[in-house]
Amino acid sequence: MIKNHNTRKLAVTPSHKRAMMRNMTTSLFLHEKITTTVPRAKEVVRFAEKLITKAKPADLDAKRVLHGEIANKDVVKKVFDVLVPRYKERNGGYTQVFKLGLRKGDSAEMAVVKLVI
């Protein structure tokens, strides 16, 4: 019996969720801001912060780990050239979640995820 007590299912299969988290994190690192629903925002924050923490040593192993999660080479380059130096002295808390209210179409609670500057 599978028990996912620590994560949200987000009404998708595990493989779809992993792909979605990778894509959303890629967009977050590229644009430094994304708009999504609150549960997805909370999950992408968990995923993105772990990746930034793994990238902070900026060695070959960190680059291989990031290339395994993010397919876009330009985004990986941006992480190591821009984001890692920005968060060098910071121990976690690389993102912020701002709630926007309800979406008009289906009343889903929306949020903006931004990287802290």
Share above pLDDT 70 across residues of the chain, in percent, rounded to a whole number: 99
Mean pLDDT for 82-95 is: 96
Mean pLDDT for 85-99 is: 97
What span, in angstroms and rounded, lies between the C-alpha atoms of 12 and 76? 26
Domains along the chain with CATH numbers: 14-115 (3.90.1030.10)
The pTM for the full model equals: 0.92
pLDDT at 85 over 90: yes
Write 6-12 long-range contacts (CB < 8 A, 24+): 7/43, 7/46, 8/39, 8/42, 8/43, 10/39, 10/40, 10/43
**What pLDDT was estimated at residue 4?**
66
Sign, CA dihedral 33-110-12-48, equals: positive
